[in-house]
Copies of this chain bind each other. A is one copy, B any other.
Amino acid sequence: MAQGSVTIIDLAAGLGLSKTTVADALKGSGRVSESTRRRVQQAAQEMRYVSNRAARQLRTNSTEALALYIPPHVRNMSFYMPFAFGVADGASRYNYDLTLIAQRAGSTASWSQVDGVIIIDAVADDPVVKSLIDLNVPIVTAGHIAGFPEDRVAGIIEIEHKRMCAAVLDELKSRGASRPAFIAPTPGAADSWSEQVRDGYLSWCAANGVPVNMVTIPVIPTNEELEAALASVLSDVETDAILFGWHDVANRGELQLERMGHRVGKSILLGALASSEENLHSAYLTVLDLRPREFGDAAVELLHEVIQNPPSGTIHRLHEVKIVADRSVKNQPGSA
């Protein structure tokens, strides 16, 4: 342990007060007189007093900590880093610690002692998720988790992937694309995201009288898989836009297309359904900024609420995302 181990008793002794008074003064419960309160607080500062978490937790039977679980199969995606720090910032706003859940649980699964858990994009049969469910703490999931027991999720914050997929397609259409293809993430690869976006594409095609041109590849495809997917959707010579799952794949697709002699932004338009503005560099992509930082923050907000005020059912909430349009029209060609 670190702290210089000055306790309320030390403070009390130094001030000639009881530890009760000191404790009350410190947290401003309005019990002590203003003058002693000030005296105590000043002394606390001078003596670098830090309230002992473990003692407080033991007494109040709370942990002042939240846990975050990001499943291993998505950890290589840039989206989750700002999400995690959004969660960390949100947590610190309410004075929670944020514990990152590792894959390999320690012998006693240390993270079992938290006030609440945030799970993002997991699958229900993930063993970690299973043990999280067994814990009796409130769970907020960012995104819907297929197969997750209804009564074990106190809150769920979602992105309207289906609607937004259509919105991106609309945007591409407004920029001249009449026959967008979709290189979609393999269904079931992660959460329900892949299904929602595929659904979004299919409905949009139906609504707009556009023939479906879709192929699925893993969320993180090999070059060969990506190349094959591109060849597949381009075998329809009418294809004038390609929508990708997340922006990293779109970036890689952009490179391959250029290499194949296509002029991205001119002969072909590109889009991506999962991105964040900070990670977007290509000027030739029309993407959805999922605002991961704000998403993480909002998840904590919701979790804090359900911890304070346990709901009878599941609280549903939406996270707004925004379209970041292809900027190549503004920029000169070659500037990307």
Interface residues of A in 199-251 (CB under 8 A from B): 222-224, 227, 251
Question: Which residues does chain B contribute within 8 Å of A53, judged by CB atoms?
Answer: 54, 57, 63, 110, 113
A89 cross-chain contacts in B, Cβ below 8 A: 102-104
Contact A223 B2 (CB under 8 A): no
Distance (Å) between the CB of A135 and the closest chain B CB? 5
Kindly supply a per-residue 1/0 record for chain A positions 39-54, scoring 1 wherever the CB is within 8 Å of any chain B CB and 0 otherwise.
0000000000011111
CB atoms of B2 and A76 under 8 A apart? no
Q: Are B81 and A110 in contact (CB under 8 A)?
A: no
Residue of B nearest to A98 (CB): B100
A18 to B50, CA, bound (A): 35
Instruction: State whether the Cβ of A95 lies closer than 8 Å to any Cβ in chain B.
Output: yes
In the complex, residue of chain B having the shortest beta-carbon distance to the beta carbon of A331: B223
Give min CB distance, A77 to chain B, whole Å.
Answer: 8
A64 CB–B CB distance under 8 Å: yes
Q: Assess the A51–B255 pair: CB atoms within 8 A.
A: no
A16 near B: Cβ within 8 Å?
no
How would residues 13 to 50 of chain A score, 1 for a CB under 8 Å from any chain B CB and 0 otherwise? 00000000000000000000000000000000000001
> Which A244-268 residues have a C-beta within 8 angstroms of B?
251-252, 254-256, 258-260
Q: Are B336 and A259 in contact (CB under 8 A)?
A: yes
B78 x A82 contact (CB < 8 A): no
Q: Are B259 and A281 in contact (CB under 8 A)?
A: no
Residue pair A108, B81 in contact (C-beta under 8 Å): no
Chain B residues closer than 8 Å to A104, beta-carbon distance: 89, 92-93
C-alpha gap A286/B89 in the complex (Å): 37
CA distance A66 to B103 in the complex (A): 16
Option from B50, B82, B112 in Cβ contact (under 8 Å) with A108:
B50
By a CB distance below 8 angstroms, the chain B residues around A75 are: 81-82, 85
Give chain B residues whose Cβ lies under 8 Å from the Cβ of A227.
334-336
- Cβ contact within 8 Å between A281 and B258: no
Contacts of A64 in B (CB 8 A): 110
A278 touches B92 (CB 8 A): no
CB distance from A25 to the nearest CB of B (A): 15
Smallest CB–CB gap between A45 and chain B, Å?
A: 12
Cα of A84 to Cα of B82 in the assembled complex, Å: 13
- Check if A115 is an interface residue, CB within 8 A of chain B: yes
Residue numbers in B under 8 Å from A100 (CB-CB): 68, 84-85, 88, 98-100
Question: Contact partner of A95 among B82, B95, B106, CB < 8 A?
Answer: B106
Report whether B97 and A85 are in contact in the complex, using a CB–CB cutoff of 8 Å. no
Beyond contacts A55-B58, A255-B255: 12 other A-B pairs, Cβ-Cβ < 8 A, are A1-B61, A1-B63, A2-B113, A2-B114, A5-B61, A53-B54, A54-B57, A54-B58, A75-B81, A84-B100, A223-B281, A223-B283
